[in-house]
Structure 1
Amino acid sequence: MSFSWLRKEVVESGLCRICGACVAACKPGVIEVERGPELVGECIECGLCSDVCPAINNLKSLGVDEFDRKKGFVVRSQKMDVIERSQDGGAVTSILISLLNSGLVDSAVVVGQTSDWKPIPLVVTEPGEVLDSAGTKFGSAPILSKVSEASEHGDVAVVGTPCQIEAARLLDERGIGNIKYFIGVFCMKNFQHELLFDLITDKAECKACDIKKIGINKGKFNYKAGEQESALKLSEIDHCIRPVCRECTDFESRYADISVGSVGSPKGWSTVIIRSEKGEELFKASKKHLDIDELGSQEPVDRLCRIKQKTV
């Protein structure tokens, strides 16, 4: 099966999730992803790009089941520099730093961003690099395109949205890369970066690089340009949502070893849901760097799961 088939069935039909799994799987290394996968060399028709595409492959058909929730916690980093540079308590940042420092992984694949807020895939191998990449990104990046590069260092942790974690599991099932831990983040929907920032910069009458802060809180999209803080209704940015996201039903990243987000936790804290034995292992390695309390109720997470399923 050739890349031309994948391009027709997935990319041109609007099903591509821009996860980058096809790049990691490509034997001759002739697929690149910017706005979507493109062939930059001769395809040998090995079919691996199609085998790992989450748009046309079902993990359950391969015997891979979703993970149920085992335990839930609310957590916050104990380090102020992590809290100041991270989102909602810095749980993911602290976990990655702990995994690298303990030697449980040798690298991690994460999302960074440019000076104009464009999300980009990154391989990090040092705690300082993890800190530099901290925080929520509004837009998609083909993070799995970096799995092969990250695997050259040894064992890998992948941090991604539910669809990216699903694709990472497909890579693992096909024996591609050295992914050891799958860390999922809660995701209701993601955005098309250019559309979103065209809207923000038009409203703020500034360049993207002049935006100091963005985030979603209490049903509003908040942003800060210079010293001016403003907010948009979520309905005002609805047209910026990636079309493929409207078909997704997984809010909590059910194929991850742990799931992380802000829903269900007090402001400045993160909700962490343990889903597997590996999730327990990596959380244990991070405990000494976290303030931890039991998650009182999982109903807020349940509610967002129900809402996402209803919107499809």
Structure 2
Amino acid sequence: MTFQQLSKDILATELCTACGACELACPPGVIGFDGLEPVLTLASWTEADCGGCGDCLDVCPGADPATPAAEDRLFGRRRTVEERWTGIFSEVLAGHSLEPEVFEASASGGSLTALMRTAMSVLDVDVVLSMGRDPDEPWRAAPRLVREPSGLTDTAQSTYQLAPYLGALREVMEKSPEDTVALTGVACHIQAMRKLQAMDTEAGRWARDHVVLMLEPACSSSTRPEGTLAVIRERARVPVESVVRLRYREGDYPGDISVRTDDGEDHRVPFWQAVRDFAGSKTHRCLSCGDWMSGLADVSVSDGDPNIFAASVEGADQHKHGRVFVRTGAGAAAVAAASGHGLLAVSPVELKGLNLGLERKRNRRATYERSGTCIPLGPVPGHREEIEIVPDERWIAAPETTAEGTSADTPGRTADGAEEREGRR
């Protein structure tokens, strides 16, 4: 099994997550990315020349996230059908950063950023992998290796955009292999890293020994870069070449899309409008994904707001915070350290009600399970979503307006109080 097999089984079936794990795992380091697509990077190499180790396919979460095997290793058991969408956890807490600059910069209270800062300042982690922006194209998402706690504030935001990610860790593995690493990533990133840690390869052994903390936000789905481009051009109405800064959840909670141009002007797009626009720029893999959270991170965080889509239209009715799912011993230690050092406020919270981001994902998954198309495996073998499918556009219906131009309904709100979660943190 070579890169040729990866091309046949994953790329040709549109199951690539663009997670970047193949780039990290490739022994000779000849896999890179052309946009969101893995490619062989050396002109002297062809698919026929590619070794035969199969590491790129073994690490790939695109068709098989290998959740049951990872749960056996992490928890000594597999999730039940009742735990299908939340995974196994020891407790769930309401949390937010106690550092004003992190709290203000965050989308959902900064719990993940507070834990990453704790990892560096208290737990002696050397480097954090987080999603930032491309320095040459500030509107484009790009992985960032952060080596100072203060540098994490710039990444304390939701990023509704796909970008090759885990391959950035190759620099650490090759140039400073003794460094310890914490990372934040969505479900496919965490699944890929757990698969890598189970592999008896040089990269797998490095990942087992040196990737010491994994944090994840809940994810309804990510968006191709073209989705962000469309919002910039068609909603903010500015040339993409003029963009010097982009934030997806800027300002008063739940925030707007903020596009700053080189003339110093800030251009705002309502968050609900961008969510609707992004719906047209998804990949098959994201739309058919069977995971809201991987359940394999040490800590997972979802937005604590009952419905951020509705809040974007009508205004928020509660304070900014996240729901913190503590899963492993490493996660519990990180939360305790963050709380004990005054970086994170946590309090017990009852896990009840639904979540709009989760409901969108469940309904999309059910649609694809009945479609007969090639889709990734879910976390519970053989389980299918037996629900009455609600079309995605109904979950994020555009607000009606009165003659005065104000909202006349509550888009995305359901009778059972569903919530929305589409981003990183």
Same fold, TM-score > 0.5, yes or no: yes
The letter for the 2-side match of 1:159 is T
Shift of 1:78: 1.3
The letter for the 2-side match of 1:130 is L
The letter for the 1-side match of 2:60 is C
Quote the residue 1:243 is aligned against. Answer: 284
- C-alpha contact 2:184 2:214 (8 A) present in aligned 1: yes
Shift of 1:195: 3.1
Q: SS of 1:254's equivalent?
A: coil
Q: Per the alignment, do residues 103 and 111 of structure 1 end up closer, same or farther by CA in structure 2, a change over 3 Å counting? A: same
Q: How does 1:102-251 map to 2 (within 5 A)?
A: 102-114=122-134, 115-151=137-173, 152-174=177-199, 175-176=204-205, 177=207, 178-208=210-240, 209=243, 213-215=247-249, 222-225=256-259, 226-231=265-270, 232=273, 234-251=275-292
Quote the residue 1:98 is aligned against. Answer: 118
- 1:40 equivalent in alignment to 2:81: no
CA RMSD, Structure 1 to Structure 2 (Å):
2.5
Shift of 1:214: 2.7
Q: Give the whole-Å Cα distance in 2 for the aligned partners of 1:298 and 1:280.
A: 22
Structure 1 range deviating more: 233-242 or 98-107 = 233-242
- 1:17 equivalent in alignment to 2:17: yes
Q: Give the whole-Å Cα distance in 1 for the aligned partners of 2:32 and 2:298.
A: 28
- C-alpha contact 2:31 2:40 (8 A) present in aligned 1: yes
Give the TM-score normalised by the residue count of structure 1.
Answer: 0.89
- Deviation string, structure 1 residues 11-62 (Cα, Å, up to 9, x no partner): 1321100001101110000001232111013322211111100123323256
Shift of 1:213: 3.9
Quote the residue 2:324 is aligned against. Answer: 272
2:302 to 261, 270, 286: 261
Rg larger for: 2
- Deviation string, structure 1 residues 106-131 (Cα, Å, up to 9, x no partner): 21211111353211112112112212
Q: Give the whole-Å Cα distance in 1 for the aligned partners of 2:94 and 2:250.
A: 19
Shift of 1:93: 1.2
Question: Any gaps of 5 or more consecutive residues in structure 1?
Answer: none
- C-alpha contact 2:304 2:320 (8 A) present in aligned 1: no
Runs of 4+ in 1 over 6 A off after TM superposition: none
Structure 1 range deviating more: 15-24 or 80-89 = 80-89
Q: SS of 1:128's equivalent?
A: helix
2:361 to 294, 308, 311: 308
Give the TM-score normalised by the residue count of structure 2.
Answer: 0.67
Q: Give the whole-Å Cα distance in 1 for the aligned partners of 2:23 and 2:148.
A: 24
Quote the residue 1:31 is aligned against. Answer: 31
Q: Give the whole-Å Cα distance in 2 for the aligned partners of 1:212 and 1:105.
A: 28
The letter for the 2-side match of 1:36 is E
Quote the residue 1:73 is aligned against. Answer: 93
Shift of 1:105: 1.9
- C-alpha contact 1:119 1:140 (8 A) present in aligned 2: yes
Q: SS of 2:92's equivalent?
A: strand
Q: Give the whole-Å Cα distance in 2 for the aligned partners of 1:211 and 1:131.
A: 14
- Deviation string, structure 1 residues 257-298 (Cα, Å, up to 9, x no partner): 111121357432122111122211111111121222222334
The letter for the 2-side match of 1:55 is G
Quote the residue 2:8 is aligned against. Answer: 8
The letter for the 2-side match of 1:56 is A
Structure 1 range deviating more: 125-134 or 28-37 = 125-134
Q: Per the alignment, do residues 308 and 101 of structure 1 end up closer, same or farther by CA in structure 2, a change over 3 Å counting? A: same
- C-alpha contact 1:223 1:230 (8 A) present in aligned 2: yes
Q: Give the whole-Å Cα distance in 1 for the aligned partners of 2:269 and 2:183.
A: 33
Shift of 1:132: 2.5
- 1:52 equivalent in alignment to 2:76: no
Q: Give the whole-Å Cα distance in 2 for the aligned partners of 1:95 and 1:104.
A: 12
1:89 to 100, 109, 119: 109
Q: SS of 1:299's equivalent?
A: coil
Q: SS of 1:239's equivalent?
A: coil
- C-alpha contact 1:264 1:300 (8 A) present in aligned 2: no
Question: Any gaps of 5 or more consecutive residues in structure 2?
Answer: 80-86, 260-264, 307-317, 366-425
The letter for the 1-side match of 2:6 is L
Q: Give the whole-Å Cα distance in 1 for the aligned partners of 2:157 and 2:122.
A: 22
Q: SS of 2:332's equivalent?
A: helix
Q: Give the whole-Å Cα distance in 1 for the aligned partners of 2:58 and 2:244.
A: 42
Query: How many residues were matched structurally?
Result: 309
Q: Give the whole-Å Cα distance in 1 for the aligned partners of 2:141 and 2:278.
A: 18
